[in-house]
A and B are shown apart, each in its own frame.
Chain A
Amino acid sequence: MTTGFRLLAPTLVLSAFAFLLFGLDTLKGRARPGVKSAGFWLALLGLGISAAMISSAGQPTPILYGRGMLVSDSLSFILSWIAILTTFLVVILSENDRTFEELPLCAYYGLLLLSATGLILVVSANDFLMIFLSIELVGVPGFILTAYLRSVEKSSEAGMKFFLIGAFSSAMLAYGISILYGITGSTSLASLQNGMPLLMAKAPLTLVALFFVIVSFGFKIALVPFHMWVPDAFEGAPTPVAAFLSVAPKVAGAALALRVFSLTLQSAQLGVINVLAILVVLTMTVANLIGLQQTNVIRLLAYSSIAHMGYLLLGLVAGGPAGISSVYLYGWIYLFMNLGAFTVVICLSNSLQSSDLSAYAGLSKRAPALSALFLLFLISLAGIPPTAGFIAKFYVLSAAYNAGWIWLVLIASANSVIAVGYYFKILHAMYFKAPVSTEAVPITLPIRFVLGVTSFVTLCMGIAPQAGFAMVQKLVATPPAATTTTPVQP
């Protein structure tokens, strides 16, 4: 029982701090700078305590807790870290952001913390009911955060779209779950795994159920053709929120897909793996091709984040220890390089008042350091050495190659050439165009901090990646939870 509470502690702390922040938000002087910064530090404190509790849990050995609803294993361990770190950096980014100038921020921080709670539960869920609930816990704060700029029409529109899509895909998930429950008589992932013969026997119905689950996950992770909401939501949302949405929920969704389709189900036998492979190809190719047409940097990064989910799922399709650890490493590296790119955009849009490509003209003269960092993040996103992005891509490709998915590797490689086409559009504007003004771009302290952390990791993991490889391989060496749990009778 105590173990269960110890493992639940990170989420309990986070939600406690979230409600504390909501309480602060009811104060009269909630828009005052003093209260705002109190909220800021409270949010960071909550995240810090939670992170300390996760790391004190130590090297994860698979443990079931919360009446078998939740599991603590290597997957939940590393993804919880990704969720906490993303939230931590996004909270820092939101401080001093011009878009929030007039607004009270305590509730905003509270919602971020609540969303992080949901993320930790998503990646620890071992039961479809828990999966459903935790996805909602990530989603609902997400809708509100997207629409947080009440007076901005685009923000409300984005929130509305995001909400409708979210509700729709949750309904799909519920439908898929109910069919699976009908077949196996349980919503637990463990029983799903043990019920494989049953699932195989009812193959057509199972496939219908899994179809709904895949579609629902597809919306959450934003795989093509379920990706349409992403560019609109990112463009309308406050940019720090877009940065948050581009990393944590997507990576967590991919991790969930990994748990369900790689660790629990024998997807290859069910033929689901081919569906996933096709989704990977579609996601990368379509996102990259549409990305080529974009002229707004945030939309461009939105399509880039869609394409990156394709790469991430390549590791899932590859499967096996190498595939799983490549997903971990990709998620980890993607967190830093993508958040870094968004940080540059946030810093720039604060002084440029625009995220259109034309506003980026000649930035290398106005803001040489920012431009150089953006260069680093973009070539990392493009997967060019010596950056972390290359290491991540190399790991995923080698896992897929070794698993025999050579045609997928070929398409993924060709895609990385297409992606360069649009990443370099930004570089083109920054370095080759004449500047529109000579005004310098100020970089605030919080942004300096985030840029320092993200660029350090992006460069170091590119030059000396051994630490990263060692970390994920050590995690994968402990057996994944779903295979070690005791059978549950239907």
Chain B
Amino acid sequence: MGVLSLITFLPLVGAIALLVVPKDKPQLARLLAVIFAGASFIVSLWLWANFNTGTSDFQFVEKFNWIPTFNIQYIMGVDGLSLVLVVLTTLLTLLSVIASFNIENRVKEYFFFFLLLETGMIGVFLGLDLFLFYVFWELTLVPMYFLIGIWGGPKKEYAAIKFFLFTLFGSVFMLIALLALYFNTTPHTFEYMEILKQSPSLAMGLQLWIFLGLYLGFSVKIPAFPFHTWLPLAHVEAPTAVSVILAGVLLKMGLYGLMRFSFTLLPLATQKLAYPLAIIATINIVYGAFCSLAQTDIKRMIAYSSVNHMGYALLGIASLNVIGFSGAALQMISHGIITGALFLLVGVIYDRAHTRDVNAFGGLGTKLPVYTGIMTLACFASLGLPLLAGFVSEFLCFLGSFQVVHYRYITLISLLGILITAAFFLIMIKKVFLGTFNTKWEKLTDMDTRELVAVVPLCILMVLFGILPSLLLSPMNATLTHLVDLMKLTPP
């Protein structure tokens, strides 16, 4: 068993181990969850340390003939793009598990589903056989359904099934697109590297159909307009830690799928559809930002800001150049870190005040200095203040898209998004932390150790990647350049 399988299946082993924990020992369940999520994180750090940044090839490849009848392989491999996403996943899962220690209801089941979800997410980023990828992709659905539906807010049940049906709707069309790829290769295969040799020379019409099928699956996850409506509901209703995973990792699965599979396997269709994609990105940016501006619930506001931020990343990849790709990849990581932190922070205040209405607060700055400081930092990072992680990634996305001549106008329109983002974050900060203190919140306490342990690492990373984005960019560089080169291939 290779190191990639180890990272992927450690959480699954943990989940199975949790099943035998007695019901009346929640502390043991928590401990087991941390141990297995932590182990997976540590192995992923080891992977990063031993990763060769000089090549765009897949490394640590594992291969095993899974279903010979259909020529389906179990292939796992890591390159620069999947490396950072896997580490992001293991990190956020570990922190979310720690942040979930205050869950008192059905603790064992909660961590069971959480660890199962982690296996699915890591597998999505590492699977290099499209069938395997699909299995992992679907594996994330059921745990997420229960995590939202059992431990969520007032409208949790509706949010859970809406999330499930939207994603499933997208993924069944993805499955048909995968079948189309399978039957249009000789010999029939789901293996990514094999399809890559053949599919770029498929006819334009077929490429467009396959692209559309894959896009339906991926765009629901991103979420790209008009398939984004599940997101605000799911994010708001999900418990804090689950919102972190939803925003931090699950949304990235869609963009990852586009970058890794749709673009490289179907270069002709990609070049044809890049402009419509960029327009969808612009809608995401502007529409998402305006929706955020209209919210009074802080969690809802952050949820819509995810629509907006994923728009930047989509704009970056739609520009089909290395700078745009780097921006998008960086945006995936920084959004994961920043929005993860923001959801944790909203959870902190909601646990104490049981409301998330911006107008209910006021002047919290004097009462909760630590909380205010961290929250303000995260907001600034999210609105793209220079020297924080969000700035570099958004800047690169815009730089990439501005280089494409006919994207100039939509890039200009998209820049509006930055302004609105700044507006809604600043308004929120003003209403909640500044002004006169609302004496109703006299008894609020500042963050406790558990919460700090979960949030502070993310804040350090925000600053670190803001100052030294090369830490992230250097492992990804070779891979991203290679991905862009693949799209330039034109059939003979």
Contact residue among A384, A397, A417 (Cβ-Cβ distance under 8 Å from B138): A384
A385-B139, A397-B175, A428-B149 known; A421-B165 Cβ under 8 A: yes
A145 CB → nearest B CB, Å: 36
List B residues at the A interface (Cβ < 8 Å).
66-70, 109, 134-135, 138-139, 141-142, 145-146, 149-150, 156-157, 160-161, 164-165, 168-169, 172-173, 175-176, 179-180, 182-183
Q: Interface with B: A57-65, A82-90, A408-416, which one?
A: A408-416
A417 with B142, Cβ < 8 A, contacts A428-B149, A466-B69, A470-B69 known = no
A424-B150 in contact given A386-B135, A466-B69 (Cβ < 8 Å): no
Given A384-B138, A466-B66, are A432 and B150 neighbors across the interface (CB < 8 Å)?
Answer: yes
Name which residue of chain B comes closest to A384, CB basis: B138
The reply to whether A410 and B138 contact each other, CB–CB distance below 8 Å, is no
Task: Select from chain A the residue with minimum beta-carbon distance to B183.
Answer: A402
Residues of A389-407 whose CB lies within 8 A of B? 390, 394, 397-398, 401-402, 406
A298 adjacent to chain B (CB < 8 Å): no
With an 8 A cutoff between CB atoms, is A465 at the interface?
yes
Q: Does A420 lie at the interface of the complex (its beta carbon under 8 Å from any beta carbon of B)?
A: yes
A424 to B142, CA, bound (A): 10
Who on chain B is nearest to A364 by CB? B109
- Asked if A189 lies at the interface with its beta carbon under 8 angstroms from chain B, I say no
Q: How far is the CA of A406 from the CA of B213 in the complex (A)?
A: 13
Q: Smallest CB–CB gap between B172 and chain A, Å?
A: 4
Measured in the bound complex, the distance between the Cα atoms of B168 and A270 in whole Å is 37
Closest 8 interchain pairs by CB?
A469-B69, A413-B172, A385-B135, A385-B138, A401-B179, A417-B169, A466-B67, A432-B157
**A113 an interface residue at 8 Å Cβ cutoff?**
no
Residue in B closest to A398 when the chains form the complex, CB atoms: B179
Q: Within the complex, what minimum Cβ distance (angstroms) separates A472 from chain B?
A: 9
Question: Apart from A385-B135, A473-B69, what 8 extra A-B contacts exist at CB < 8 Å?
Answer: A364-B109, A384-B141, A385-B139, A401-B176, A420-B168, A421-B165, A424-B161, A428-B157
Decide: B69 and A379 in contact? CB cutoff 8 A. no
Q: Are B165 and A420 in contact (CB under 8 A)?
A: yes
Q: A385-B138, A401-B179 are in contact. Are A417 and B165 (CB under 8 A)?
A: yes
Taking the nearest CB of chain B, how far is it from the CB of A345, in angstroms? 21
Contact A431 B138 (CB under 8 A): no
The secondary-structure label for the interface of chain B is helix
With CB as the reference atom, state the residue of chain B lying closest to A466.
B67
By the criterion CB–CB under 8 Å, are B134 and A431 in contact?
no
**In the complex, A263→B157 CA distance in Å?**
48
A241 to nearest B CB, angstroms? 31
Question: Which of chain A's residues have a CB closer than 8 A to the CB of B70?
Answer: 398, 469
Q: How far is the CA of A397 from the CA of B67 in the complex (A)?
A: 17
Asked if B134 and A385 make an inter-chain contact with CB atoms under 8 angstroms apart, the answer reads yes
Q: Bound state CA distance, A432 and B176, in angstroms? A: 32
The docked-state distance in angstroms from the alpha carbon of A402 to that of B160 is 35
Name the distance in Å between A62's Cβ and chain B's nearest Cβ: 23
Residues of chain B lying within 8 A (CB to CB) of residue A469:
67, 69-70
Residues on A with beta carbons closer than 8 Å to the beta carbon of B164: 420, 424
CA distance A470 to B68 in the complex (A): 9
Partner of B176, one of A385, A386, A410, A465: A410
**A397 vs B177: C-alpha distance in the bound complex, in angstroms?**
12
Q: Closest A residue to B137 by CB, please name it.
A: A385
List, sorted by A's number, 11 A–B pairs whose CB atoms are closer than 8 Å. A384-B138, A384-B142, A385-B139, A386-B135, A394-B175, A401-B179, A416-B172, A431-B149, A432-B157, A466-B66, A470-B69
Instruction: Give Cα A26–Cα B182 distance, bound, in whole angstroms.
Output: 61
Cα distance A420–B156 in the bound complex, in angstroms: 17
Q: How far is the CA of A203 from the CA of B330 in the complex (A)?
A: 67
B59 to chain A, nearest CB (A): 26
| Shortest distance from the beta carbon of A419 to any chain B beta carbon, whole Å | 10
Task: State which size class the interface on A falls in.
Answer: 20 to 34
Interface pair B176/A409, CB less than 8 Å apart: yes
- Chain A 452-481 interface 0/1 with B at a Cβ cutoff of 8 Å (1 = within): 000000000000011001100100000000
Which residues of B are found within 8 Å of A421, using beta-carbon distances?
161, 165
Nearest residue, chain B, Cβ from A365: B106
The answer to whether A401 and B183 touch (CB under 8 A), given A385-B139, A424-B161, A466-B69, is yes
Which residues of chain A have C-beta atoms less than 8 A from B156's C-beta?
432
Known: A424-B164, A465-B67. Contact between A414 and B172, CB under 8 A?
yes
B136 to chain A, nearest CB (A): 9
Known A409-B176, A417-B169: A398·B182 in contact at CB below 8 Å:
yes
* A431: chain B residues within 8 A (beta carbon): 146, 149-150
**Which residues of B sit under 8 angstroms from A401, Cβ to Cβ?**
176, 179-180, 183
Across the interface, name the chain A residue whose C-beta is closest to B180: A401
Query: Which of B70, B109, B172, B183: most chain A CB closer than 10 A?
Result: B172
Q: Across the interface, do A379 and B142 meet the contact criterion of CB distance under 8 Å?
A: yes
| B contact residues around A384 at 8 Å (CB) | 138, 141-142, 168
Interface centre among A385, A386, A390, A420 (most CB of B within 10 A): A385
Determine if B139 and A386 form an interchain contact, defined as CB atoms under 8 angstroms apart: yes
Q: Which residue of chain B lies nearest to A415 when distances are taken between CB atoms in the complex? A: B172
Q: How far is the CA of A431 from the CA of B70 in the complex (A)?
A: 36
Nearest Cβ on chain A to B380's Cβ, whole angstroms: 39
Interface residues of A in 376-390 (CB under 8 A from B): 379, 384-386, 390
CA distance A469 to B131 in the complex (A): 16
Chain A residues whose C-beta falls within 8 Å of the C-beta of B179 in the assembled complex: 397-398, 401, 409
Contacts of A398 in B (CB 8 A): 70, 179, 182-183
Q: How far is the CB of B365 from chain A (nearest CB, A)?
A: 39
Residues 410-443 of A contacting B (Cβ, < 8 Å): 410, 413-414, 416-417, 420-421, 424, 428, 431-432
Residues of A within 8 A of B165 (CB): 417, 420-421
Cα–Cα, bound, A211→B350 (Å): 65
Q: Which residue of B lies closest to A433 (CB)?
A: B157
B168: chain A residues within 8 A (beta carbon): 384, 416-417, 420
Q: Chain A's nearest CB lies how many Å from the CB of B68?
A: 6
- For the complex, give the distance between the alpha carbons of A394 and B138 in Å: 13
Task: Give Cα A428 to B109, complex, Å.
Answer: 15
Say how far A130's CB is from chain B's closest CB, in angstroms: 34
Asked if B138 and A413 make an inter-chain contact with CB atoms under 8 angstroms apart, the answer reads: no
CB distance from B373 to the nearest CB of A (A): 38
Q: Which residues of A contact B161 (CB under 8 A)?
A: 421, 424, 428
Shortest beta-carbon distance, A222 to chain B, in Å?
Answer: 25
Known pairs A428-B149, A432-B157; A413 contacts B173 (CB<8 A): yes
Bound together, the chains give a CA A401 to CA B150 distance in angstroms of 38
Q: What is the CA–CA distance of A431 and B161 in the complex, to the nearest angstrom?
A: 13
The answer to whether A466 and B68 touch across the interface, beta carbons within 8 angstroms, is: yes
Q: Within residues 345 to 392 of chain A, which ones have a CB less than 8 A from any CB in chain B?
A: 364, 375, 379, 384-386, 390
Partner of A413, one of B146, B176, B183: B176
A263–B191 Cα gap in the complex (Å)? 34
**A465 CA / B134 CA spacing, docked (Å):** 16
- Whole-angstrom distance from the CB of B60 to the nearest CB of chain A? 23
User: In the assembled complex, which residues on chain B have CB atoms less than 8 Å from the CB atom of A428?
Assistant: 149, 157, 161
Select from chain B the residue with minimum beta-carbon distance to A428.
Answer: B157
How far apart are A146's CB and chain B's nearest CB, in angstroms?
Answer: 34
Give the residue name and chain of the A residue nearest to B135 (CB).
A385
Nearest B-chain residue to A383, judged by Cβ:
B172
The residues of B that contact A385 with a CB separation of less than 8 Å are: 134-135, 138-139
* Smallest CB separation, A409 vs chain B (Å): 6
Closest Cβ neighbor of B167 among chain A residues: A417
Q: Considering only CB atoms, which chain B residue lies closest to A393 in the complex?
A: B175
Give the shortest distance, in Å, between B71 (CB) and chain A (any CB): 11
Q: Which residues in A have their C-beta under 8 angstroms from that of B149? A: 428, 431-432
Q: Smallest CB-CB separation from B168: which chain A residue?
A: A417
Q: What residue in chain A is nearest B166 (Cβ atoms)?
A: A417
Determine the distance from Cα of A416 to Cα of B135 in the docked complex, in whole angstroms.
16
Q: Which of B134, B150, B172, B183 contacts A417, CB < 8 Å? A: B172
**Chain A min CB distance to B109 (Å):** 8
Residue of B nearest to A394 (CB): B175
What residues of A have a CB within 8 angstroms of the CB of B172 in the complex? 413-414, 416-417
Chain B residues positioned under 8 Å from A409 (CB to CB): 176, 179
Q: In the complex, which residue of chain A has the Cβ closest to the Cβ of B134?
A: A385
